[in-house]
Amino acid sequence: MNNSKNSLGTRDNKGSQDVRIISHLRNIDASRYMLAKALSIPIQSVCRRVDLLKVQSKVAVIREGKCEISGKWVQFLSSNPDKFNGKNQLGLWPEQI
């Protein structure tokens, strides 16, 4: 099997998408939909990749607001650690007092 080509399902392409998402979010806060449009990546792939990057603490939800494209109330993401709020970004555990 020839591994030289990248299809949507290859590991290299997923890694490339991760790098592109992280790079874009380093300087620009964006919703998933804004990312999909800016990077020409299918929204389903953006959602899947962002969820995995959140678990790895490479991307965090930094605020909620109105999406510039859809006009819906959404989460805005960043990969800039200076913008992370220090809370558990997945919201699975309550903060300890």
For domain 11-83, is the CATH number 1.10.10.10?
yes
| Torsion sign (Cα): 68, 70, 72, 78 | negative
User: Residue ranges of the alpha helices (H) in 28-55?
Assistant: 32-39, 43-55
| Cβ atoms of 39 and 21 closer than 8 Å | yes
| Cβ atoms of 43 and 16 closer than 8 Å | no
Smallest CA-to-CA distance from 41 within 20, 66, 15, 12 is with 20
Confidence of residue 94 (pLDDT cuts 50, 70, 90): very low
Domain ranges of the chain: 11-83
| pTM reported for the whole predicted model | 0.73
Q: Report pLDDT digits (tens) over 44-67.
A: 999 999 999 999 999 999 999 999
Whether the predicted pLDDT of 17 surpasses 90: yes
| Cβ atoms of 66 and 72 closer than 8 Å | yes
